């Protein structure tokens, strides 16, 4: 197992699952986990590719096609249980990037009462949940060949009905992966704002 665990030195707020994009659990996502740990969270990032890393879109497409839905689902459920043990009844949250957002929404469907906060970075999927205890924040690119406006709006409508606490943001002059500083699509100003909004959102829901 190549899962990554980051722990705060003090003042534990709760636990967060971080689900990587289709590049794999690379240094960017590990650094992101470490930054969250400095904010007071135990952070567990499951490695859905078992150590494999992609640097180009064709490489990422090949890795994504190799993973099996059942294996990924089982991995996420194991990670969920591990994080539950780590936080010892403190609140839990979830942050997913693209592919990770897709699977994160699946996990929220499976465990609708287990998360206090869910953060989505440029990722959607169809949802079946009627009610959930999670609040949601979403960060989306203005120009995105992977996420349609209609898909984003449909998800927002579904989550609002299920949760009632949903905020989606579309960042001007951005493309998919704009938050990831190891990608050519990285947009510094938008990434800073998305980080600030994410931390404010998490802190307000981990009480």
Is the model's pLDDT at 187 over the cut of 80? yes
Q: Which tokens in the block code for residue 119?
A: 């953060």
Is the model's pLDDT at 138 over the cut of 80? yes
d(CA 88, CA 71): 26
**Where does the pLDDT of residue 1 fall: very low under 50, low under 70, confident under 90, or very high at 90 and above?**
low
**Where does the pLDDT of residue 10 fall: very low under 50, low under 70, confident under 90, or very high at 90 and above?**
confident
Question: Beta strand pairing status for 166-175 and 117-121?
Answer: unpaired
- What is the DSSP code (8-state) at residue 71? H
Q: Among 7, 1, 48, which residue's Cα sits nearest to residue 26? A: 48
pTM for the whole structure: 0.96
d(CA 204, CA 207): 7
Rounded percentage of the chain residues whose pLDDT exceeds 90 = 92
Rounded percentage of the chain residues whose pLDDT exceeds 70 = 100
**Where does the pLDDT of residue 2 fall: very low under 50, low under 70, confident under 90, or very high at 90 and above?**
confident
Instruction: Summarize the confidence of residues 166-185 as an average pLDDT.
Output: 97
Q: What is the CATH number of domain 4-205?
A: 3.40.50.1820
Place of tokens 């709760």: 14
Instruction: Summarize the confidence of residues 17-32 as an average pLDDT.
Output: 98
Look at residue 207 in the predicted model and tell me its pLDDT: 76
In the chain, DSSP assigns E strands to 4-6, 14-19, 41-45, 92-97, 117-121, 135-143, 166-175
3-state secondary structure of 138: strand
d(CA 31, CA 192): 15
Average pLDDT of the chain, as a whole number: 95
Look at residue 129 in the predicted model and tell me its pLDDT: 76
d(CA 164, CA 136): 9
Handedness of CA 194, 180, 1, 76 (dihedral sign): positive
């Amino acid at each position: 197992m190549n899962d990554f665990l980051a722990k705060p030195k003090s003042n534990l707020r709760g636990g967060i699952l971080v689900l990587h994009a289709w590049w794999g659990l690379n240094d960017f996502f590990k650094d992101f986990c470490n930054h969250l740990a400095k904010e007071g969270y135990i952070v567990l990032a499951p490695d859905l590719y078992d150590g494999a890393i992609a640097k180009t879109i064709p490489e990422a497409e090949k890795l994504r096609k190799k993973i099996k839905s059942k294996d990924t689902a089982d991995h996420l459920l194991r990670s969920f249980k591990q994080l539950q043990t780590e936080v010892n009844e403190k609140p839990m949250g979830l942050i997913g990037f693209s592919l990770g957002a897709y699977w994160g929404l699946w996990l929220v469907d499976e465990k609708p009462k287990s998360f206090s906060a869910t953060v989505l970075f440029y990722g959607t999927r169809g949802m079946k949940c009627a009610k959930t205890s999670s609040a949601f924040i979403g960060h989306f690119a203005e120009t995105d060949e992977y996420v349609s406006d209609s898909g984003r709006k449909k998800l927002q409508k579904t989550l609002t009905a299920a949760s009632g606490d949903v905020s989606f943001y579309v960042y001007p002059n951005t493309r998919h992966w704009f938050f990831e500083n190891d990608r050519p699509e990285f947009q510094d100003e938008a990434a800073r704002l998305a980080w600030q909004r994410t931390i404010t959102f998490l802190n307000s829901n981990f009480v």
